[in-house]
Amino acid sequence: MTQVRSELASSSYQKAYATYQKKVADTQRVDELLNLGLLAFEAGDYETSFRVLAEAERLAEERETKSLSREAAGIAISDRVRAYQGTVFDKAMLHYYRGLGFLAQNSLESATVEGRRIATYLEVNARESKHAYKDDAFLQYFSGSLYDAFGQFNDAWISYKRAREMYADFYGVPEPSFLCPVTLAAVRKVGHEESEKELEERCGGDAPNREWGRVIVICEAGLSPPILEENIMFPIYKSDPKRWDKDEDRDEYAWRVSERRYHQDDNVTVDYFLRVALPYYSSEYVGTSVQNVVVRDTAGGEFPCELTTRLAAILRQDLSDRMPAIVARAISRALIKYAATKAAEQVGGKKDKWLGDVLGAAVNIAGAASEAADTRSWETLPDRIFVADFRLPPGPHTLRAVLRDDFGTVLFRHDFDPVEVKRGQVTFLRARCMR
């Protein structure tokens, strides 16, 4: 993946796509299909992107009905053996990119179907998820905009309203200034007077010029962080049990040991240290230098692109939510391997101590070789997404997105193809900067 990330960093989308295609030909891994689908999208191969992302979704759903044999192998060997199902966030973003692909093909109806799938999936997840990521402000806004463009104003209002609720606490991202006005515009089209009055007080009562068209520019910046592997040592005390009659007892003990990562008991004697491989995101990783984005119209006018989501923050939180279970599985796995090592030593030692040591070492080496953290992820996602949502008079327009760093240095310019803004309609544009 290092070469692919390097090619993406230089905006060589066709090269990155070709490199990854060659690497994962005929893959049935969900993470590889997600990455391949997005790379196909970036390269403009929309049909392949649709097909591959649909296959990723199918396999993810299929693997939610977990195979007991694969689960058991995951406990005994490595988390990498477990069928990767994708995260909740993966499954929501999958429909976002399918929606963008349909917009690129001027198929608003199909894009709106993907928007509805996002909203439906997030609605179910908000009810059932035990993790911090239950819903998504940006994706609700995106779904609402698709509904709006397709004339489904009541659904648009519901999604906008949910987005505004989410932005009250959405990974440090404040509510974009354009969200209240577009919500008000949708409410007026629905004709809900009470909500209209409330929104007028919050965001002003000036109605948008209905003679003009709405333009939404989505600017994706950077690359999301890759998951790395680290080795952690957990102390095993002499007073700890060395045998467990039931798997449940061993797993419960593993949970207790996992707490020793941050706190060790006093007045105990350490018997040995258990090494486990765990996934993590580097705190030093910087996914993008982009801090400021504007969209300019060559006919005059400049419109700010506002930060709407920090994908890296969502991914970090998701892994953090899953870590207790990951750590417990890794410790349980290490305990099984340790028990196998001791058993081999005892079997061989009955005949010859040297033979017992050799057998024990062989089993120990095999166990260590198979120990690996699960670092699979959708790492071709962007780091942040900025959006400009504004109105222009009908007619041809030539727009440019300018992306800068903290110091005002221009990192990237994207010139969009000329667009024809139409009265009362919504135009979607999208750019990606890898800096």
The mean pLDDT of 1-15, rounded to a whole number, is: 95
Position 364 scores a pLDDT of 44
As a whole number, mean pLDDT of residues 356-385 equals 70
pLDDT in tens, 167-216: 999 999 999 999 999 999 999 999 988 899 999 988 876 667 889 999 99
Q: Which two tokens stand for residue 96?
A: 């976002």
Q: What is the pLDDT of residue 365?
A: 43
Q: Where are the domains of the chain?
A: 211-435
Q: How far apart are CA 103 and CA 77, in angstroms?
A: 44
Predicted local confidence at residue 65, as pLDDT: 66
Burial readout 160-185 (b: 16 or more C-beta within 10 A, e: otherwise): bbbbbebbeebbebebbebbbbbbbb
Distance CA 328, CA 322 (A): 10
Cβ partners under 8 Å of residue 40, min gap 6: 17, 46, 48, 49, 52
pLDDT band, residue 83 (cuts 50/70/90): confident
Looking at per-residue confidence, does 353 or 176 come out higher?
176
Report the pLDDT value the prediction gives residue 210, as an integer from 0 to 100.
81
When pLDDT is averaged across residues 339-356 and rounded to a whole number, the result is: 57
- Is pLDDT at 1 greater than 80 in this prediction? yes
Rounded mean pLDDT, 254-272: 90
The residue count for the chain: 435
pLDDT number for residue 358: 42
Average pLDDT, the chain: 90
The pair of structure tokens assigned to 369 is 């070789």
pLDDT at 111: 99
Q: pTM to 2 decimals?
A: 0.91
pLDDT of 33 strictly over 60? yes
Q: With bands split at pLDDT 50, 70 and 90, how would you rate the model's confidence at 333?
A: confident
Give residue 418's pLDDT: 97
Question: Would you say residue 383 has pLDDT above 80?
Answer: yes
Q: What is the pLDDT of residue 138?
A: 99
Give residue 346's pLDDT.
Answer: 63
pLDDT tens-digit profile of 107-160? 999 999 999 999 999 999 999 888 899 999 999 999 999 999 999 999 999 999
